[in-house]
Amino acid sequence: MLPLLAPTQIIVFALLLAWLGACVVYDLRSRQVPALLTILPLILAALWRLFQGSWQMVLLVIALVLVSDLPWAKWRIPLACLGCILALSFASSSESVYAALVIFAAWALWEIGATGGADAKIIISLVLLFGNGLLFIPIVLAGGVQGLIGLMAKKKTIPYTVAITLGTAAWLWLFAGR
């Protein structure tokens, strides 16, 4: 049985799923999600995380953004690894460790071209919002199912915002109110 949610939680979850739904619509139509739909939520999630006292995660995101702009491509991953290790050394809980690792993983997947920038920003925003990297598990599982379906349909790429939305909805359904 689902736990009872406060009206505020219901409103926040509905807004969150509406945002993700808008990202899916853009991704399915044009294979691009507008920057306004990714950057503004990333900033708001970072501010929320700061308000919650988890400055380490926000600092890691800022460091990764700065590393992304370095002109020396071969130094980006090693410097990002160093930043992640530094963030992990300040982690105050297992949730913070998982969050830092997922933030780094989402950035690294984008950096090597395995995923789009919008997907990475959406995942990082969600991790900052919830403060728990375990959110990535249902997203990856949904992505695996979506990938298998895409493989059977002989698609070269898949719109990963669908998996992000389905995984996040599953996360909310399973862990909301706990």
What phi and psi, each to the nearest 5 degrees, are found at residue 147? -65, -40
CA dihedral 89, 112, 50, 141 (to 10 degrees): -90
Separation of alpha carbons 111 and 109, rounded Å? 5
CB distance 22 to 37 below 8 Å = yes
pLDDT value, residue 1: 44
pLDDT one digit per residue (tens) for the chain, 178 residues = 445 667 788 888 899 999 999 999 999 999 999 999 999 999 999 999 999 988 889 999 998 998 888 887 888 888 888 888 888 888 778 888 899 999 999 999 999 988 999 999 999 999 999 988 899 999 999 999 999 999 999 988 889 999 999 999 999 888 765 5
What phi and psi, each to the nearest 5 degrees, are found at residue 61? -60, -45
What's this model's pTM, rounded to 2 decimal places?
0.90
Separation of alpha carbons 14 and 124, rounded Å? 19
